[in-house]
Structure 1
Amino acid sequence: MSKSKDQTFRYYIIVSPKMHRIHHSVTRTETDSNYSSVLPYWDILFGSYIRKVEEPIEFGINDRA
């Protein structure tokens, strides 16, 4: 299996820290994604899966009050 196919296959089998970190972004659409911490199936099933983002992630909590 080629390296890129192997990496793609792994994205659908187990959640990596790189995938889950998107969930900790201050951007609302990114925060509302990638909830899974072990298996990505739930995010894929419910449409909350984001494979990667285009811009660097800003981590933290926005003041929404």
Structure 2
Amino acid sequence: MKKDDDRFIKTYKQASFSEGIEIWVDKETGVNYIYKYSGYSGGITPLLDRDGKPVVTAVFEK
């Protein structure tokens, strides 16, 4: 279910049958998160640049 008031938006997905990687962006802060899953487990963490700082995407309001 997709709602316009969702805080996070998925910007990337690479998946196979039971595992994958997704990138989600927080619409309020612009911080990017990487979500990795395999089978019934998964984890999420901020996506970092080469300097160890969070990747931030400009967020535009409609």
TM tier relative to shorter chain: under 0.3
Higher strand share: 2
Higher RCO (CA 8 Å, separation ≥ 6 residues):
1
Q: Which has the higher helix share?
A: 1
- Normalized against structure 2, the TM-score is what? 0.22
Provide TM-score, normalisation by structure 1.
Answer: 0.22
